[in-house]
């Protein structure tokens, strides 16, 4: 069981001069040869891990995870929660298992997380990282050192808690910024040597701040050295203000591998930057790019399209967009609108795995839809790039048609006109959901960092698709249940024309309790409309029972006020906590009248044959289900031939920021203007006119009745 030490009192920081956690972390990094890491402490009052100290990297790199819930799907939380060591061998495994981390840090590095725990309690967790060149397995020596260090730290935390001096946050362990080349190299002559070099040299600390720049660097960057020192290059040099350049700095630090990029210094000079990382910072070599013409041509080709590498800000934006997707088609459109342009793809197919086969959920960018249909119904046992990626859980990248056809010879029989592909398995909650296929019009190289980003995006798309599939399934179930409970057709009595509409709410995945019905009883027919409180299966089920009860009480000949009273008692006898509004009327077209009873329902509108419209001020009683002895008085209304009654639920007239009286006035104006058109057309006009119906924050039911002279 995960717990915290039973030492009383709030956690306090260690006494000054005794950075216990910092020293323990620094020693651990040296023992296992890691280049960065952090210690997290578990809060005593809540299941939350807080970063107490970080070493080897700026804390900003781990900003999203400085405080994480114990149930969070990230390695340190998993290590503390399950009391075990968690090993992530590299960027592709990170992208597959922990997409939240990979979307922010899509770089080659290995990570281990271990619990800081005794037999009695868990005090926190530690993570450490190695460069991307680390072997795919954690060595026994590294595992033993890491486990032993965490056990020693847990004992110190236990002892500190017992002595009522629990440890807290400490200063991070970072290298001292470089202050000058003479101090680094030790002699003035060394400084003179560096200043004479024909290429630029800069030193960056772990935060990316410039600690030294030789004269050549100052000249190439076009800024005096005094204006560069202590600044971030992508801040102090305007033409380096691109997220890609900051991303290269992050990549160098996280992977501890040499990285490089080229940048255009206006108006037309290309400069090459090469970053050499260490655990204390970066050395940057700046020179003029040799193949300026080649660079210019490459820039001309790449200019209109997106950057090859999706930046951190783009990925976070894509993640935010995908969380807003509701249905499956929303996901397809968002991937097309947001993801495809960001990664330079010209077409996509989204596939779902169901019943041992792949099914096409949607596609974009394919001139010939028949090409996409080959995916539909494809058995998962068949050897294709899409099924292989899904079955293995490993994405597949094909730089060219030749590479794809070499591995899948049958592929040349179904050309799609594209020249490169990325097949991303969509794995959510540990199970395969489908495959996302991104196609490129030209041969496209997929460097390591781009593969990691695409793999991470696959994880985000999978989660969005899983939610959307669940939403669509629930929506279909809800719609089917709702339709089953509503009348399939209306059979009006002689002398009455009827039309009805029902719109489910689009906000949320549940169903509502709005209902309507037309009961062709003898000698007089009846109509009813109502709204059960709530938007769930209980409300829908209760709606069905009320509708059935109204039909039964009408059939046995009860008067309108008796039908309403009997339905009220039925609702109370059912023992539910839900209430319902209801409007019931007995129609007598032969005598040109209708008798109505109302239980807390919005008043109907009556359009007279001369076009005048009024809101009927009906007597009524409380909502159904509140008071067993409630009385529901009736009101008789004239219903001359040509008159139209408009019955509705509150979803038609209630919307935020709109006064209900204004909404009713607008509805009355509409009826006066177009109320003489055919009833089916009028029903459509009523919905089209309603702002509340367009927003669909609530279910909407409308029942229109028109008296005719053939009664």
**304 or 282, higher pLDDT:** 282
Q: What is the pLDDT of residues 156-199, one digit of tens each?
A: 998 888 888 778 888 888 754 444 443 444 456 666 777 777 78
Cβ contacts of residue 315 below 8 Å, gap of 6+? 103, 104, 106, 453, 456, 457
Measure the N-to-C terminal CA separation of the chain; round to a whole number of Å. 77
DSSP line for 89-121: -SHHHHHHH-HHHHHH--S-EEEEEEEEE-SS-
Judged by average pLDDT, the poorest of 83-92, 94-103, 350-359, 546-555 is: 94-103
pLDDT value, residue 77: 93
Torsion angle of the four alpha carbons 275, 278, 279, 281, in this order, in degrees rounded to the nearest 10: -40
Percent of the chain with pLDDT over 90: 34
Enclosing H/E stretch for 284: strand 281-288
Asked if the model's pLDDT at residue 116 lies above 50, the reply is: yes
Selected residue with higher pLDDT from 692 and 396: 396
d(CA 664, CA 658): 10
Q: Are 613 and 675 in contact (CB under 8 A)?
A: yes
Give the pLDDT band (50/70/90) at residue 254.
confident
Average pLDDT over residues 304-315: 46
* Top-confidence range, 351-355, 509-513, 543-547, 595-599: 595-599
DSSP 8-state symbol, 702 = E
Spacing of C-alpha 608 from chain mean position: 51
Alpha carbon of 186 to those of 265, 409, 590, 662: distances in Å?
33, 63, 111, 82
Query: What confidence tier does 479 reach under pLDDT thresholds 50, 70, 90?
Result: low
Residue 13: predicted pLDDT: 40
User: 3-state class of 385 per DSSP?
Assistant: helix
What is the mean predicted confidence (pLDDT) over 381-385? 86
Model pLDDT, residue 540:
73
CA 627 to CA 180: how far, in whole Å? 85
Sorted by sequence, the CB contacts under 8 Å of residue 149 that are 6+ apart come out as: 24, 27, 28, 31, 126
Per-residue pLDDT, 582:
94
Q: What radius of gyration, in Å, describes the C-alpha atoms of the chain?
A: 35
Greater model confidence, 232 or 513: 232
**Collapsing DSSP states into helix, strand and coil, what is residue 33?**
coil
Mean pLDDT for the chain overall: 82
- Max avg pLDDT among 176-185, 545-554, 656-665: 545-554
The string over 21-58, giving b where at least 16 C-beta atoms fall within 10 Å of a residue's C-beta and e elsewhere, is bbebbbebbebbebbbbbbbbbbbeeebbbbbbbbbbb
**Cα–Cα distance between 588 and 501 in angstroms, integer?**
23
Q: What share of the chain is helix, strand, coil (3-state, %, to 5)?
A: 40, 25, 35
Q: Is the pLDDT of residue 509 over 50?
A: no
| Residue 166, φ and ψ in degrees, nearest 5 | -60, 150
586-628 tens-digit pLDDT = 999 889 999 999 999 999 999 999 999 999 988 889 999 999 9
Question: pLDDT value at position 711?
Answer: 58
Bridge partners for 201 per DSSP: 285
């Amino acid at each position: 069981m995960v717990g915290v030490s039973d030492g009383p009192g709030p956690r306090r920081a260690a006494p000054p001069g005794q950075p216990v956690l910092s020293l323990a972390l620094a020693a651990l990094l040296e023992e296992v040869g890691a280049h960065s890491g952090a210690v997290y402490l578990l809060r005593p009052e809540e299941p939350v891990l807080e970063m107490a100290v970080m070493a080897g990297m700026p804390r900003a790199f781990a900003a999203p995870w400085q405080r994480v819930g114990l149930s969070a799907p990230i390695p340190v939380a998993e290590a503390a929660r399950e009391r075990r060591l968690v090993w992530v061998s590299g960027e592709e495994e990170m992208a597959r298992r922990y997409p939240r981390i990979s979307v922010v840090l899509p770089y080659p590095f290995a990570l281990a997380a271990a619990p800081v725990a005794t037999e009695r309690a868990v005090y926190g967790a530690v993570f450490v990282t190695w460069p991307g060149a680390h072997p795919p397995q954690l060595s026994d020596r590294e595992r033993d050192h890491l486990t032993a260090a965490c056990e020693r730290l847990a004992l110190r935390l236990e002892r500190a808690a017992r002595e009522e001096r629990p440890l807290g946050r400490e200063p991070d362990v970072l290298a001292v910024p470089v202050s000058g080349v003479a101090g680094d190299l030790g002699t003035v002559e060394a400084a003179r040597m560096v200043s004479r070099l024909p290429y630029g040299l800069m030193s960056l600390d772990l935060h990316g701040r410039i600690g030294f720049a030789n004269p050549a660097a100052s000249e190439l960057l076009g800024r005096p050295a005094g204006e560069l020192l202590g600044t971030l290059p992508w801040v102090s040099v305007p033409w380096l203000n691109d997220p890609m350049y900051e991303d290269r700095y992050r990549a160098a630090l996280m992977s501890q591998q040499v990285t490089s990029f080229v940048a255009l210094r206006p108006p037309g000079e290309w400069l090459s930057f090469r970053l050499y990382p260490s655990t204390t910072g970066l050395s940057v070599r700046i020179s003029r790019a040799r193949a300026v013409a080649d660079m210019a041509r490459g820039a001309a080709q790449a200019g209109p399209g997106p950057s090859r590498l999706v930046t951190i800000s783009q990925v976070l934006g894509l993640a935010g967009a995908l969380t807003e997707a509701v249905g499956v088609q929303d996901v397809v459109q968002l991937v097309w609108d947001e993801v495809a342009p960001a990664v330079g793809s010209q077409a996509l197919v989204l596939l779902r795995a169901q019943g041992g086969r792949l099914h096409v959920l949607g596609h974009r960018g394919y001139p010939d839809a028949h090409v996409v249909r080959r995916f539909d119904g494809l058995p998962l046992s068949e050897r294709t790039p899409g099924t292989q990626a899904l079955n293995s859980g490993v994405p597949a990248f094909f730089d060219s048609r030749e590479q794809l056809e070499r591995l899948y010879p049958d592929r040349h029989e179904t050309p799609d006109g594209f020249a490169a592909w990325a097949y991303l398995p969509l794995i959510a909650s540990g199970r395969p959901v489908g495959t996302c296929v991104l196609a490129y019009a030209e041969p496209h190289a997929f460097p390591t960092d781009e593969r990691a980003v695409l793999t991470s995006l696959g994880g985000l798309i999978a989660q969005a698709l899983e939610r959307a599939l669940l939403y669509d399934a629930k929506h279909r179930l809800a719609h089917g249940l709702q339709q089953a409970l509503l009348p399939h057709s209306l059979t009006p009595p002689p002398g009455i024309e009827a039309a009805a509409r029902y719109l489910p709410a689009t906000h949320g995945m549940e169903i509502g309790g709005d209902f309507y019905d037309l009961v062709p009883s003898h000698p007089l027919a009846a109509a009813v409309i109502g709204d059960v409180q709530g938007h769930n299966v209980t409300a829908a089920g209760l709606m069905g029972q009320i509708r059935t009860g109204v039909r039964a009480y009408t059939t046995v000949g009860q008067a309108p006020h008796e039908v309403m009273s009997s339905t009220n008692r039925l609702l109370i006898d059912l023992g539910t906590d839900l209430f319902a509004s209801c409007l019931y009327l007995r129609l007598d077209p032969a005598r040109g009248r209708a008798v109505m009873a109302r239980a807390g329902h919005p008043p109907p509108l009556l359009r007279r044959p001369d076009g005048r419209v009024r809101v009927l001020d009906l007597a009524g009683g409380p909502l159904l289900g509140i008071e067993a002895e409630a009385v529901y008085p009736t009101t008789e209304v004239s219903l001359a031939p040509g008159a139209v009654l408009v019955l509705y639920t509150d979803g038609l007239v209630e919307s935020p920021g709109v006064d209900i009286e204004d909404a009713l006035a607008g509805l009355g104006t509409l009826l006066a203007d177009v109320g003489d058109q055919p009833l089916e057309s009028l029903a459509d006009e009523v919905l089209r006119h309603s702002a509340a119906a367009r927003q669909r924050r609530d279910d909407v039911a409308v029942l229109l009745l028109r008296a005719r002279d053939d009664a």
